[in-house]
Chain A
């Protein structure tokens, strides 16, 4: 799987590193001073991940927890994300990572104790600064630059974060994934403030766009299994991509989802229509010239991101929201991701 594993020199004896080395005996091991000395120093083509994927193991320095952008999660609550990995083993053709790091290689940061300390400190700082917000949960998101579960059998961080969030009941942790790699998760006791959220698309769209990811039916089975075990589940219909089967395919997706988890058990469903920065849009054009993804008309939208036109995306969001509401999902559990929420047509009724 990994052609070369780069290890920061002081980490060779770290148990996680030892474990990874054991799992990939064929990989060449190279010792480096710091990840930044090699990773991203030259522009490695994104699609090279298909034939040559390398792994970097090191410690994350600098800002370990960051404030999330507006409209990131449920409205009105503070959202932060923390970084313990860069890049992803999957190859979703809309993914912003193809324009982000100048290298598709995987980076795993293994100093989870330090990251956990920083989460604790951030939570305490927020509570002190906002004494009136005691009823609101503070959200922490893993997986801003990676899939939160796909490599957990290697990185082994879930135990750290479950232990941490057990002691932070006023905080929520979101593990966002397209993976069905739930074995490590199932070793933990479910916590109501650790939510595993799955990104879902209609089956045919997942096949066309979520390249190298588990098919929809496997993700739905994972949702079912985790739900049965008592793990809280969130859902992301994101990115929503228009095609001529749009309405029927989302109706089917809603039905399939609710066959696997009851509407009232879903903690939240976020809806987000496909969007790109200008740079990522150009990367998608270059990397996937034959995909139907960009065949529709796109415009520069309110935040300079490239999106479908405003009436089109609001129409799409309203349609799916209605489909979910019709099937019993409470309105207050559905939110529009990275969209100007003032424009939500259903909110105005």
Chain B
């Protein structure tokens, strides 16, 4: 699905707890969104979703919001606290996440999700249960540097809607810190304002330096100008073919401006037939060898086509078969066909399929 960028597009910010988001609430002006559940807010630039703790809450709420609003969302952020799984990562360190993994009921989810932040160097394991012991952390540390409870679920939702996801975490507890569930809750509550402030500052800095603003690649211009042209009519599959062919030409370094598209506009054909011819021309530009092969094959088939026998062959040139379509209405037709078949060399035809291309 194509997602056209427009000025109405917003970034979706997701947090597990309101406390983690408090600086964001203070920084921007928010209105609550009348939705199926509480916890969704909107500002000029952002949606903000409080998912609640854990993967189930995060998954349900992210998917519900994206189902309704995905056409208005350009990317999804997951922000919040995480535990360290690496002795080098200490409390208050801010980390951008590279890949999200998940761990559930002593098993690892095979699927992973990679964020759109190419500079991120830390991986995050989203655990279905709170990870309280050093032993549990050690096990997970074989796969990731930090542990949280929501990112994988949020990323999974974003992936479903083909939206890029980014994740910023602040380390709330060190690798060797063992604690009870209550201890953690109390600590996080006390520290939440500081964590949230740090997340906001890093998020704002990243937004400023983010160079990956959407832009149309050069070939988009060529595609759009052809697609918008009333002289052509493309079916859905032809449109797909046009897109892929122009993309491939671009990859080969062909300047799309150098293509002679004008010649097809003036053809006395229907827009649909013009489009078909244009696609063939573009394909020949892309695959000159395929053009050569087709013309070599057609040359070998000339005795048949001259006798009004219509040959068809495997469009991929892979199989040896040759199909002949002919109509006999008189003895003369029969003689003409017999003569043509005598002249036609199947061996020569097969030689082309075997690479003897003139």
Q: Which residues of A contact B (CB under 8 A)?
A: 6, 30, 32, 37-38, 41-45, 48, 51-52, 102, 242-244, 290-292, 294-297, 299-302, 308-318, 343, 345, 348
With beta carbons under 8 angstroms apart, the residue of B109, B142, B355 that contacts A315 is B355
Q: Does B101 contact A (CB under 8 A)?
A: yes
Contact partners of B111 in chain A: CB under 8 A: 43
Stretch at the interface among B47-55, B191-199, B283-291: B283-291
Query: Does A45 contact B143, Cβ atoms closer than 8 Å?
Result: no
List 29 A–B pairs whose Cβ atoms lie within 8 Å, in order of A's numbering: A6-B142, A43-B110, A43-B112, A44-B112, A45-B99, A48-B114, A51-B121, A243-B252, A291-B251, A292-B252, A294-B251, A295-B248, A296-B289, A297-B283, A299-B317, A309-B290, A309-B317, A309-B318, A310-B353, A310-B354, A311-B293, A311-B355, A312-B290, A312-B317, A312-B355, A315-B355, A318-B355, A343-B354, A345-B351
With beta carbons under 8 angstroms apart, the residue of A42, A244, A297, A316 that contacts B112 is A42
CA distance A30 to B144 in the complex (A): 12
Contact partners of B357 in chain A: CB under 8 A: 311, 315
State the Cβ distance, A37 to closest chain B Cβ, in Å.
8
Q: Does B108 contact A (CB under 8 A)?
A: yes
Query: Does A295 contact B252, Cβ atoms closer than 8 Å?
Result: yes
State the Cβ distance, A6 to closest chain B Cβ, in Å.
7
State the Cβ distance, A243 to closest chain B Cβ, in Å.
8
CA distance A46 to B141 in the complex (A): 20
With beta carbons under 8 angstroms apart, the residue of B112, B141, B355 that contacts A313 is B355
Contact partners of B288 in chain A: CB under 8 A: 244
Smallest CB-CB A-B distances: 6 pairs: A314-B355, A299-B316, A315-B355, A295-B248, A309-B317, A295-B251
Q: Does B98 contact A (CB under 8 A)?
A: yes
Query: Does B143 contact A292, Cβ atoms closer than 8 Å?
Result: no
State the Cβ distance, A173 to closest chain B Cβ, in Å.
33
State the Cβ distance, A303 to closest chain B Cβ, in Å.
11
State the Cβ distance, B215 to closest chain A Cβ, in Å.
14
Q: Does B279 contact A (CB under 8 A)?
A: no
Contact partners of B248 in chain A: CB under 8 A: 294-296
CA distance A343 to B357 in the complex (A): 14
Contact partners of B251 in chain A: CB under 8 A: 290-292, 294-295
State the Cβ distance, A325 to closest chain B Cβ, in Å.
16
State the Cβ distance, B96 to closest chain A Cβ, in Å.
12
Chain A residue at minimum C-beta to C-beta distance from B120: A51
Contact partners of A345 in chain B: CB under 8 A: 351, 354-356
CA distance A43 to B156 in the complex (A): 14
State the Cβ distance, A61 to closest chain B Cβ, in Å.
20
Query: Does B287 contact A297, Cβ atoms closer than 8 Å?
Result: yes
Contact partners of A102 in chain B: CB under 8 A: 110
Chain B residue at minimum C-beta to C-beta distance from A293: B251
Contact partners of B109 in chain A: CB under 8 A: 42
CA distance A178 to B358 in the complex (A): 35
Having A43-B110, A295-B248, A317-B355, one finds 11 other A-B pairs with CB under 8 Å, namely A42-B110, A44-B112, A52-B123, A294-B251, A297-B283, A297-B286, A299-B318, A311-B296, A311-B357, A315-B289, A318-B356
Instruction: Write out, one digit per residue, whether chain B residues 106-150 have a CB within 8 A of any chain A CB (1) or not (0).
Output: 001111101000000101000000000000000001110000000
CA distance A296 to B108 in the complex (A): 39
State the Cβ distance, B109 to closest chain A Cβ, in Å.
7
State the Cβ distance, B142 to closest chain A Cβ, in Å.
5
CA distance A296 to B248 in the complex (A): 8
Query: Does B317 contact A310, Cβ atoms closer than 8 Å?
Result: yes
Query: Does A51 contact B98, Cβ atoms closer than 8 Å?
Result: yes
With beta carbons under 8 angstroms apart, the residue of A32, A41, A295, A299 that contacts B108 is A41
Chain B residue at minimum C-beta to C-beta distance from A32: B142
Which of A299, A309, A311 neighbours the largest number of chain B CB atoms within 10 Å of its CB? A311
Contact A312 to B142, CB < 8 A, known contacts A42-B109, A292-B251, A345-B356 = no
Contact partners of A51 in chain B: CB under 8 A: 98, 121
CA distance A44 to B251 in the complex (A): 27
Query: Does B142 contact A310, Cβ atoms closer than 8 Å?
Result: no
Query: Does B143 contact A302, Cβ atoms closer than 8 Å?
Result: no
CA distance A297 to B318 in the complex (A): 13
Contact partners of B293 in chain A: CB under 8 A: 309, 311-312
| Chain B, range 240-284, C-beta contacts under 8 Å to A | 248-249, 251-253, 283
Q: Does B352 contact A (CB under 8 A)?
A: yes
Query: Does B317 contact A42, Cβ atoms closer than 8 Å?
Result: no
CA distance A296 to B245 in the complex (A): 9
CA distance A30 to B110 in the complex (A): 21
Contact partners of B316 in chain A: CB under 8 A: 299-300, 309
Contact partners of B317 in chain A: CB under 8 A: 299, 309-312
| Chain B, range 334-353, C-beta contacts under 8 Å to A | 351-353
Query: Does A296 contact B287, Cβ atoms closer than 8 Å?
Result: yes
Query: Does B354 contact A44, Cβ atoms closer than 8 Å?
Result: no
Query: Does A38 contact B289, Cβ atoms closer than 8 Å?
Result: no
Which of B121, B142, B249, B283 neighbours the largest number of chain A CB atoms within 10 Å of its CB? B142
Query: Does B355 contact A30, Cβ atoms closer than 8 Å?
Result: no
Contact partners of A302 in chain B: CB under 8 A: 318
CA distance A316 to B123 in the complex (A): 45
State the Cβ distance, A296 to closest chain B Cβ, in Å.
6
CA distance A309 to B314 in the complex (A): 11
State the Cβ distance, B333 to closest chain A Cβ, in Å.
32
State the Cβ distance, B108 to closest chain A Cβ, in Å.
5
CA distance A297 to B141 in the complex (A): 45
State the Cβ distance, B201 to closest chain A Cβ, in Å.
25
State the Cβ distance, A311 to closest chain B Cβ, in Å.
5
CA distance A312 to B110 in the complex (A): 40
State the Cβ distance, A75 to closest chain B Cβ, in Å.
18
CA distance A44 to B248 in the complex (A): 28
Instruction: Write out, one digit per residue, whether chain B residues 206-224 have a CB within 8 A of any chain A CB (1) or not (0).
Output: 0000000000000000000
Which of A38, A42, A297 neighbours the largest number of chain B CB atoms within 10 Å of its CB? A42
